[in-house]
Amino acid sequence: MNYRMTVQYDGTRYEGWQRQTRTAETIQGRLEAAVRAVTGETVQVIGAGRTDAGVHAAGQTANFHLAAPREVRALETALNEALPDDIGISGLAEADERFHSRFSAAAKTYRYRIRTGTEKKVFERRFVWQYGKPLDTAAMKRAAALLTGMHDFTSFCGNKKMKKTAVRTISSIELHEKDGELAIDYTGDGFLQNMVRILTGTLVEVGEGKRTAEDMPRILEARDRQAAGFTAPAQGLILLRVFYDGEQTL
């Protein structure tokens, strides 16, 4: 039986989504351990996106297969009891056997939060980049418009050894500023390693006046990581939602 679930997590103390041999502190590793503790079965929990160390999720989608079917609500309750307090499961449901949380995904939305006001967000410090200075959001919006669409995003990829295509489609980059905080929402059909954080760092450099919006086509054409901006800190990034065929994006 294939099970689909929505997973929320505070990624602060974890080494990212993907299971690793050198540490048990990964989201995938913790979920698989919980399934094993509850069901006695060793499974692979497949996530829609492999979030980096320190990155959070409000709407990660994952799936796993069990040989012996379980009652959904009881399984969800038992898994949540077996998980640490900074990882939670909601919306557990039976899925079609062909459903694959990663390969079936049509789009994802990430949000990056930046404090632009002078007042510190003490209780939000794990989830907001405490930048603390104003940014030229009008210039950043112009740059964002030039980054939307289908492009080769090699310049915005943190994996220098990646051999697969870096062509992705970003359908929208929305900037919203309120009460001393700038939120940037990225929606696209897929994102490369560190891509959202590098896009954010590049847009911040535009907001600082270090780059212009008109630099974006040249950065894309370079297909060189050195051409783009810095990688923004992990704590400001959260995976909001994963969309599948027939679901409307944000």
Active site residues: 52
| Rounded Cα–Cα distance for residues 163 and 198 (Å) | 19
- CA 162 – CA 44 distance, rounded (Å): 24
Task: Read off the DSSP letter of residue 24.
Answer: S
Q: Is 223 left (phi over 0), alpha (psi -120 to 50) or beta?
A: left
d(CA 13, CA 222): 35
Looking up tokens 């054409």 gives: 221
d(CA 29, CA 85): 15
Helix/strand/coil for 226? helix
Please name which of 245, 128, 215 lies closest in space to residue 179, comparing C-alpha atoms: 128
Contacts of 113 (CB under 8 A, 6+ apart): 124, 127, 128, 129, 181, 182, 183, 236, 238
